[in-house]
Structure 1
Amino acid sequence: MMKYRLLLSFSRLLVLSVVLLSISSCGFQLRGSQQFPEHIQLVEVRSLSAHDPQARALAERLPVYQLGYTRAAAPADIANTVIIELRPENLDRRLLSVFRTGQVAEYELIYRVDYRLTFPGQEPVNAVVEVLREYQDDPDQVLAKSRELDLILDEMRAEAADRIIRLMASQASVPAVAVN
């Protein structure tokens, strides 16, 4: 019985080691573990409004990726600053289902952010992020559903910010193309 337990624990350890080695050898990285080049340390976020909620979401998410945030980079920092220019956000709803009475029961929320990403010494890249969520509407609980919609929208902004930063990380690793 003792040999069986020892053999079982050894085989589990062996299987775990093989799985970990295969995952690490294929280049797998956890989300949020993107590495930025050494020269990129600061992100300037520009938006039309000083109190843009998407700009706030980016400001909250950038420290997770060990990046600094600024609303206007100093001239001395411009060589290591990535610029994100946010355009106005857009929230649309698409009807998914209705009650027998004809009232809307469920929506699909579509949150869209257009932005321009500019790396030092490179041409700007225009991009779009779209985040989708399902939202169930209940006409009997208007106040609670209004608060729920605000929370869902905040989550969608945070997810959009993460996607923007991940795209920025993937674009940062692409070498700059020399223009003659």
Structure 2
Amino acid sequence: MPVALRSIALLVVGTLLAACGFQLRGSYSFPFNSLYLSVADYSVIGAQLRRSINASSPTLLVATASEAQVIFVPGAEYRDRVILTVSGTGRVSELRLRYLFPYRLTDNKGRDVVPPSSVELVRDLTYDDSQVLAKQQEESLLWRDMELDLVQQLMRRLAAAKPVFVDAGT
């Protein structure tokens, strides 16, 4: 009897999830056929973005900008660490981590096909002087999590982009 009851419960949960519109994140469909990433080879964001595009999109990553229909041009990324609160003894008790990543999408002639935009990520972190090593590790994990979140947001934004390509005849 428990097996039958478990099967029915699983069927009900599956039906409810399908009815509410839930679906797993699938592959991304970009509105362009080829893309050049104008990021350094050693860049963490560039490597993760390349890996994500290769794994989940039919869009071709090309080696040179002249071959690409669209060029991804990152701006100067900005990382910031701001003190939010200070204890009564003057010690830091809370920090805010900010990560700003501006970017542009251009065609191979340098014209913007999507207006310049940026992704801003913010994470708050409690701080304790008695646990300095643990808090440093937590901060580095938060930065890494923000990098992964940034790549996912860039993938969604690239998929949702509505590029306007200028014809050669106009």
- 1:86 alignment partner, one of 52, 74, 79: 74
Task: Report SS of the residue matched to 2:28.
Answer: coil
Does residue 160 of structure 2 align to residue 170 of structure 1?
yes
Task: Report SS of the residue matched to 2:130.
Answer: coil
When residues 116 and 102 of structure 1 are mapped into structure 2, their CA distance, relative to the original with a 3 A threshold, is: same
The answer on whether the counterparts of 1:32 and 1:166 sit within 8 Å (CA) in structure 2 is: no
Report the TM-score when normalising by structure 2.
Answer: 0.71
Equivalent positions of 1:31-180 (< 5 A) are 31-37=25-31, 40=33, 42-47=34-39, 51-66=42-57, 67-69=59-61, 72-73=63-64, 75=66, 77-79=67-69, 82-118=70-106, 123-171=113-161, 174=162, 176=164, 180=170
Q: What is the root-mean-square deviation in Å for CA atoms of aligned residues?
A: 3.5
Aligned length: 162
Segments of structure 1 that go 5 or more residues without pairing to the other structure are: none
When residues 94 and 54 of structure 1 are mapped into structure 2, their CA distance, relative to the original with a 3 A threshold, is: same
The answer on whether the counterparts of 2:78 and 2:100 sit within 8 Å (CA) in structure 1 is: yes
Report the TM-score when normalising by structure 1.
Answer: 0.68
The answer on whether the counterparts of 2:113 and 2:165 sit within 8 Å (CA) in structure 1 is: no
C-alpha deviation, 1:56, in angstroms: 2.7
The answer on whether the counterparts of 2:81 and 2:96 sit within 8 Å (CA) in structure 1 is: yes
Segments of structure 2 that go 5 or more residues without pairing to the other structure are: none
Task: Report SS of the residue matched to 1:85.
Answer: strand
When residues 16 and 162 of structure 1 are mapped into structure 2, their CA distance, relative to the original with a 3 A threshold, is: closer
